[in-house]
Every structure is written in structure tokens, then in C-alpha cells.
Structure 1
Amino acid sequence: MSLYTFPTRPPYPIITCCVSPSPSLAPTIPSPPPSILPPTTTATAVPLLTCALQCPHFQSCSGCTHEFNLHRPIIVEEATDFFKSLGVSDFTFDSCRLWGWRCRAKLAVRGSIDNPLIGLYQEGTHNVVDIPQCKAHHPNINAAVEILRQGIRELNIEPYNEDQGTGDLRYIQMAVTTYNTALPAAERYRNGRVQVALVWNSRNEKSSNSDKLNALAKFLWRNGGPRSNLYLIHSVWANFQTSTNNIIFGNRWRHLLGERDFWEHVGGIDMSLDPSSFGQANTRAFDNLLRKLHKYVPYAASVADLYAGAGVIGLSLAATKKCRSVKCIEINKESRPSFEKTVDRLPNSILGSISWHNADTSIDPLSWLVGSDVIVVDPPRKGLDTSLIDALRTISSQKVKPSLKSSSSNIKEEKRPWVLREREHAKEASVQVGRETISADARSLPETLIYISCGWESFKEDCKSLLTSKSWHLEKAHGFNFFPGTQSIEVLAVFKRNLKKKKTGKKKKKQA
């Protein structure tokens, strides 16, 4: 996992920019204040000159790639033209916070005890750039990093040395939760609390340097916990990693102090996320995307959520659209506990079938598509797996006969041993909530595909591949400013399947 994360600036109101031919027509607002995030959530347009990064680390840090016009990266123009060429002329682009948007950060810890460097790698190197005033981070991430820096110095915690494989602390993950029902909604973002995960250079908690780990955790809790003057630490976790490769986390996690469960409210539901689970860095922008996505899913639909992670998208749809069934498919088994905790908080009024499956989407993808009205895909930056693309491209040619069997059965009897093994594993590792849906349409084919993409180049290739198959057409497209200060945008694209026209069966009358 790379540490090229995307920073930007700490305070400001939510903005909404709809793409138009003349982006310069925007009202003016004052420049952002230096550090504290205001509670406002009012939608406002932003002028070009006031949307500057103003970050002291820009020249050396690899996180941000441009300083100006954060509300409208250059790639938006390309996206507008791309979608227009495909018949979608009403592409929109929405921004939330331009500074202080990052609620999840993975940072390397290098340097020395007296001068610890906590930040990102310099472009093209493994030299860490210290970023104490990062303008992308939620301000409480920066504050928690400073407490950590103080603890490293006072407790003689040795930063990791990559060349020698020595040291105590390799990386940290900081994740902010704004879930706090004790505060008014307008104050929750400003007062977010930080879950700190310490990636420790040892095999487990019984290693020789475990005393240092516990001392550092207690230092963080004493100086940032509920009894401190500045209560900003939610919890402290440890991850144990001794590998010499670029993978940040090891497989062993341990909860040390604070609250065990980490909650956030997005897409109309309370979401649980363990530190080992994938979580979106820009919480506010992700919430906006989910609410937009809801508009394209019919009430009581059957949904398959592929690359589902902890199932946030699928569960959000289950709660807000009262789906008949929701299947979440995810390859990372560590996401299961978070899924189960989130399900436990769903409203009792949900009567549909909900399931989570630990499976590889690339193996026998058609088995996950059959029986669903809507397919939601949220792949990694590389895009969709080739086998899934192929299944979607040829879906209109599949011969599907009505059946009362479960939707997990395939079009024809499966005999390939590796596919059968994957199915058996997915079944054993699955979670079923409510009764499994068995109906006459259990072998129907999806008519809507919703593609959420964080990789623009891979999305363009996948999009062209889907459209050239003639099985799908593009109906809507929206962009979201998930990473201000970069040339990355999040795309929500809605495809509809091209259905064959049914023959009327009427015969022409013979002329006398």
C-alpha cells in the first residue's frame, strides 16, 4: 500500500459546483481562516482566487499536485467533454470542504528520536517529508500527530529505519469520527475525535519493545483522552508488522485504550469501521455521493454490492430504499466484523434479505449478477476485474430461464473445481440477515449498473468497454471532489442495460 496520500487545507464551508461552460462566473467569499473548521454546511459557490491551497509543505510533499482552483481541478474539463461525447451533457461536479477534509490518513514515521519525521514520502523516494501543518488533514489529526511527536521524544521511541529494519514505530493511521450525538449536528465535524493506530515493529504484544508501546499508548491517552485539557483521542490501537516490503499493516491487531467501536453516520446509517477495514478519507464527500446514489435505485429493488468492503453502500441502500435483497461481496475477510456491527444498528423496519460474502468478485462473477435488479461496483483504482467486465459485456446474451432456485445458482451446472471451491468458501464465510430471498425472479438479470470510480483512467477504459458491447448505455454521470489539491475525482456513473424489444406477435392483414 503506497503512502502517496492526498492532503489539503483545514477550514471551510461546503461548496457545490455544477459544471457549466463558464466556470468563472462565481461569487466571492472571504479567504479561509487559519485552523479551526467552522460548523457551517451551507452550499456556496467559490471564486477561483480564494480556492488556493496555501500549504507550507506543497513544494516537498507528494500529497497535493496543484495549489489553485481546488474547487475545480483541471480534470473536470476533460470529464465534462468525455461524458458529453457519450451523450451525457448534464455532468455535474460537487465539492465539499476544500481544506481539512481528510478524516483518514496513513503516515510514515522516520527520522530520529529527537527529530521524528511524520508524514508522506517525497515524490519518487522513500524520504519522509514532515507535514505538521498539512492543510488536507482534519485539524485534530494534526493535533494528535503533535501529541505523538512529543511522546516519541519523551519516551525514547525509535522511529523505523527502513535500511536496517530497526526501530519501534513504523507508521501511524489516524481516523477521525464525527459521530457524537451529544453535540449539535453543526458542531460534530469540528469536534471529531481521532482513532490512533500505531504500526509497531514487532511480531506481537509480547516482544521486547512492548513496554514502549504501552507507554506510548498511555501517553497519548493521558494527553489527548477524556481527562486531558484537549479531548481529541477516540482510541489507541496497535498493529504488528515486521515485513520488509511496502505493505503498511500486518495481520495482527490489538485494541489498547479508549472506545473499541468506531462509528460514523453516512448515507443515512450508522457505520462501524475497524482500523483494519477500508474507509473513505473524505467523509462528507462520501456522504454526498451516497445520497446522490440513492436516487438511482428503485424502491424495493434487489441489489448486489461488489467490492463492498464493510458493506456501507449496500446497507445504506437497504435502509433508505427498503431493498428486497442486498448482497455484499468483499474479498477482505477483515471487513466482516464491521459489517455485522453495522447491521445490528439498522432499523427494525428493514424486512428484506441482507447478506455479506467473503469472495473474490473476479471468480465466477455472473453468479453474483444473476437475480439482482441493480449492480453497484466500487472497485480499487485499477478498475473492474477483466472477468467481471466480460460478464457485464455479454450479459444480454445470457439465456436465463425462470427458476425457483436460490440466486446463488448459475445459468448452467458449474463443474470447474476452482469455482466450486470459491463458492464453498464464500458460503462458509458469509453472513445472512433475514431469510434468503427465493422468488420467481431469482434468475433475472440486472437492468442498472452503478459504477463508483476513484481511478479516472481505468474508468474511461471500463466505460468504453461496456458501451462498445452494446449491452449498456450511459444514462447519468456525476463527479465529486474527494481529494481537493489533486487531479483525482470520484465518479458516479449510471448505466442502463439495453433491453431487446419484444415482438408483438401481431400478423399483418392480407390485402384483398
Structure 2
Amino acid sequence: MTLRLVSAPPSFSLFSCRATASTALPPPTPTPTPAPTLISSIPQSPPLTCALHCPHFQSCSGCTHEFNLHRPVILDDATNFFRKHGVSDFTFDTCKLWGWRCRAKLAVRGSSTEPLIGLYEEGTHNVVDIPQCQAHHPNINAAVELLRRGIIEIGVEPYIEDEGTGDLRYVQMAVTTYNTSLPAAQRYKNGKVQVTLVWNSRNENSPGSDKLNALANFLWKNGGQRSRLHLIHSVWANFQTSTNNIIFGNKWRHLLGERDFWEHVGGIDVSLAPSSFGQANTRAFDALLRRLQKYVPYESDVADLYAGAGVIGLSLAATRKCRSIKCIEINKESKASFEKTIERLPATVDSSITWHHADASKEPFLWLLGSDVVVIDPPRKGLDASLIDALKNISSVERKAFSSSGSSNSSQEEKRPWVLRAKEDSVQIGSKPPTNIAQSVPQTLIYISCGWESFKEDCKSLLSSKAWYLEKAHGFNFFPGTQSIEVLAVFKRGPQKKKQGKKKKKHLQGAVRH
């Protein structure tokens, strides 16, 4: 049974466009995502097959440009920046251009007879209805249409901001493409949607809970496992009564369907609770993880800062046979997802794995010591100043590590409160200790960034210290239709070594003549 019973699919194939040096692209076909290409090979005037084709463009604030989805304008700046700093082979993966968004938070406004489900108009709190969003996974659009029918049939009142009244404030739609019963090629298009209803009440016992349960039952009856169209993975409720702009409250309840939400990325099965952070572009994130893994030597000791549920660190434990993985995350809600993901790691994983509920900006030296590789994936604002300072002064950290390795001070009782809290809230798997933990400091720094401007500032600051140099950089089209890209940058310790390939070759030729 197709999704046409609920919502019409896009009028064009959801293919991933790869621009080449030719003046025109071949007709769109549902082929696998191509390998990333050098930026220099992408033409300046691509064909209309890379256009958005969205009826909501301009009224909706989600996308900022309509054409050249495969080549955000920001790429020119990125290419020049990396070339200036020693990386001439910067690549960009265009990824999937339509139907890529697998996680969406949408406002619900309007009336019970004409609900509006979408995003705010730019600069306002007027919600634009986006039933045919071309960025959404098609099943999100189908689930939104089903929700609309339920709101009308049951008489659910959308939230009225000015008055603080109404029932349904927001909805989060998250698609899982994890389904081992289907061939791999069919899993994405048959993804199931986890629906979280953000309800304007304190808890499930507050007035109006009857409508919440009725709406959840409607979604499950018409889109659940036993319905004609199995579209819904599960239904959750979040309770929020605050008058600010924060979408979620602190109380979550599982109502119907499967409790656990799984996805397969980076070579591992990942558990994601509706309250934990998850990448919106599942396929692009998987491509980034596969590329990142190549820069981590086997049997490394890895520190994963801003780790979330530990997806990056755990994928490295599974694919690079790391001696140790140390995940540091400030959001305690991520702990449960981390613990569930660990349960599904391959039996071959023999790493010492820890997860710490801690702020990586406090005592960053503590988290850097004992690691060969440090992976950082900060929020859009970039790195905290204290962490930048620690990385810039990594040589002094190394000297302190060596000088204190045999000192009696290292065995003193830990009294710092934030360190004690991190230990109390930590999760530890495996008992194999890292090698030379006291002396080890990072030799490789892998920086993942979703904020281009903040990355440039952090990068220039790190390079100015001469403690690091840029070795490689790659871009990923995580958000087609916007001016944002995801960057994977690999730094190595020390000043950049000059390439002497030509001179060496010439010297060898001279030696042959003699």
C-alpha cells in the first residue's frame, strides 16, 4: 500500500544530484548517492534539476534559496578558506537533495477545523502550513496529513500563543529507517514515523487529557502496525505549559507503539529517545561518519567531546577497534540512549568505554589527557573559550602529563565537585585500560561543525598557536536549500610540514645519473 492514501508523493524522483564539469546532468534516476567530488569540478550554472520545486518557498522560513541545491553559495568561501590554510583538495558531498529531513519540529496553530502545521514565517510567529514540504521525508508529510485529519475529527484546539490556551502546541516527527526485514535499498522509503505531541498541560492527568488520548488512538488506529497503511512507529506526549519559546517541557510519556527508536548509522545500531538530539539528515550523517572513521588509527584512545548519546564514539569503538572511548556530554537525557546503544554493539568490541555527564569546558585538560584522538562536535556557536585555550596549549599539557606521571600527587583523592559529579553520573563498559593513559595527549583533532562562521574563527585561533595544522577538510550537504553546510576538518599536531615531493624526485633522478 502506498502513501498516496494519505499524502501525495513529490512529483519528481527523490534522487541525489551530482554536478560534474559537463554543462548538463543526466535525467534524474533513483541511483545511490555518489561519491563526493572536488569543489573545482562543480559548474557555476547548474541545470534546473537541482532546483527546490517547493510550493511553500518564500512563505516558509525553512529554505533560503530555490536553485543550485547541490552547491550552496557558501562553498566558494569554504573552498578559498581551506586552500588558504593548506588544504587544496577540499571535497563536498552533495548528499540527498530532496526528502532528506528525517526529523522535524513543527508548530501547530490555526483552528480545530483548519489547523496549520508548519514553520513560522520569517520574522514572525505566523505559522505557514507546509503539507508538501520537499525537504521532509515523504512519510513525515504523510504523518502530518494524518495528524491534520485527527485534529479536525476529534476537535483538538491548536495552541493560541497570545492567550496561552489550546491543546496542541507542537509536534515532532522523527523517521526511523531501521527495518532489517526489508532489503537495504527499500528501508529509507519505508521509514516509520515517531510522533511526539507537545501538549499544553502539566501532565497526562490534567484537563484535556481525554483529547490527547483520543488523538493518539486516532493516529495509531489509522497509521499503526495493524492499520491498512503502517506509517506510525510510535506516539509520545510531551507536556509543556511555559509561555516562552522553548518547545519541549521536562515530562515525557510513551503512549502507543514501540518504545525504542532505532537507527543504523556509522556501522552501529543507535537508540534515540524523543528527548535526545538526533541529526535531521540521517543519510548525510552516515556519510560523514564513514569518512571520519578513516582518520582514526586502529586501537586509538579517543575522547568524544559534546558527545550527545555517544554515536560518534561508539561507531569508532565498533569500526576502529579503539582501546578506549571517553564520551563527555552535558545533557543528562542522553545517558539512557547511550546505555541502550551499548547493548547492541557487536560482540567483537573490546574497548574500555565510558560516558560522563559533564561540561567539557570545565577542566578540559582532564578530558584531553589519555587520548590519542579527540573528536569535537560543538553546537553552532562553536567551541568554548576554555577548550580552545587548552587545545592551543596542548604542548604544555603534554609536559605536565609526563612530569606528573610518576608523581605522588596523581594518587591524591579527587575533591573537585564537577569531577566528582561526572564520575557519579558516568557509565563504564569494559575493563581494559588504555595504554599509557598518563602520558597520552591528542595527536589528532577532528572537528565537526554545523556553524561555518564560528568554525572559521575557531580554526584560525587553533592554527595561530602553531600547535596544530590542517591536514584534511570535507563538506557535507546536511541542509539542502539553506546556506549551511556540515564540515569535517582534521587537524594534526605541530606546524605543517612542507611538501618536498618534487625536490625529492629531482634529487633521486640526479642520483641515478651519477
When the two structures are superposed, what TM-score results if normalisation uses the length of structure 1? 0.89
- CA apart distance, 1:152: 0.5
In the alignment, what sits opposite 2:364? 365
In the alignment, what sits opposite 1:244? 243
In the alignment, what sits opposite 1:400? 400
In the alignment, what sits opposite 2:450? 454
- CA apart distance, 1:14: 3.4
Partners of 2:238 and 2:432 lie apart in 1 by: 36
In the alignment, what sits opposite 1:329? 328
Once the two structures are superposed, what CA deviation does each residue of 1:413-470 show, in whole Å capped at 9, x if it has no partner? 899x7xx111111101000000162543433210000000000000000000000011
- CA apart distance, 1:403: 8.4
Distance 1:176 1:295, change over 3 A: same
Partners of 1:493 and 1:402 lie apart in 2 by: 28
1:143-222 matched pairs, under 5 angstroms: 143-222=142-221
- CA apart distance, 1:16: 4.9
| Residue 41, structure 1, aligned to residue 41, structure 2 | no
Partners of 1:204 and 1:220 lie apart in 2 by: 20
1:376-455 matched pairs, under 5 angstroms: 376-398=375-397, 399-402=399-402, 420-435=416-431, 437=433, 439-455=435-451
Whether the aligned pair in 2 keeps the contact of 1:16 and 1:93 (CA below 8 Å) is no
- CA apart distance, 1:217: 0.3
In the alignment, what sits opposite 1:472? 468
Partners of 1:366 and 1:410 lie apart in 2 by: 16
- The amino acid across from 1:443 in the alignment is Q
In the alignment, what sits opposite 1:118? 117
Once the two structures are superposed, what CA deviation does each residue of 1:67-115 show, in whole Å capped at 9, x if it has no partner? 0010011111110001000010000000221000000000000111111
Partners of 1:152 and 1:170 lie apart in 2 by: 12
Distance 1:439 1:162, change over 3 A: same
Distance 1:489 1:320, change over 3 A: same
Partners of 1:361 and 1:391 lie apart in 2 by: 11
Partners of 1:126 and 1:178 lie apart in 2 by: 32
Once the two structures are superposed, what CA deviation does each residue of 1:122-180 show, in whole Å capped at 9, x if it has no partner? 11111111000000000000000000001101111000011111010000000000000
Whether the aligned pair in 2 keeps the contact of 1:16 and 1:43 (CA below 8 Å) is yes
Partners of 2:14 and 2:162 lie apart in 1 by: 41
- CA apart distance, 1:402: 4.2
Distance 1:238 1:247, change over 3 A: same
In the alignment, what sits opposite 1:484? 480
- CA apart distance, 1:11: 4.2
Secondary structure (helix, strand or coil) at the match of 2:48 reads coil
Whether the aligned pair in 1 keeps the contact of 2:33 and 2:96 (CA below 8 Å) is no
In the alignment, what sits opposite 2:79? 80
Whether the aligned pair in 2 keeps the contact of 1:448 and 1:495 (CA below 8 Å) is yes
May I ask how many residue pairs the two structures share in their alignment?
478
Once the two structures are superposed, what CA deviation does each residue of 1:262-281 show, in whole Å capped at 9, x if it has no partner? 00100000010000000000
In the alignment, what sits opposite 1:56? 55
Distance 1:297 1:231, change over 3 A: same
Partners of 2:409 and 2:234 lie apart in 1 by: 45
In the alignment, what sits opposite 1:506? none
Whether the aligned pair in 1 keeps the contact of 2:51 and 2:68 (CA below 8 Å) is yes
Distance 1:414 1:73, change over 3 A: farther
- The amino acid across from 1:371 in the alignment is G
In the alignment, what sits opposite 1:29? 26
When the two structures are superposed, what TM-score results if normalisation uses the length of structure 2? 0.89
Partners of 1:387 and 1:466 lie apart in 2 by: 12
Q: What percentage of aligned pairs have identical amino acids? A: 72
Partners of 2:469 and 2:353 lie apart in 1 by: 29
Secondary structure (helix, strand or coil) at the match of 1:148 reads helix
1:243-262 matched pairs, under 5 angstroms: 243-262=242-261
In the alignment, what sits opposite 1:342? 341
More helix by share: 2
- The amino acid across from 1:400 in the alignment is K
Distance 1:500 1:123, change over 3 A: closer
- The amino acid across from 2:193 in the alignment is V
In the alignment, what sits opposite 1:13? 15
Secondary structure (helix, strand or coil) at the match of 2:356 reads strand
Unaligned runs of 5+ in 2: 1-9, 498-514
Partners of 1:388 and 1:141 lie apart in 2 by: 38
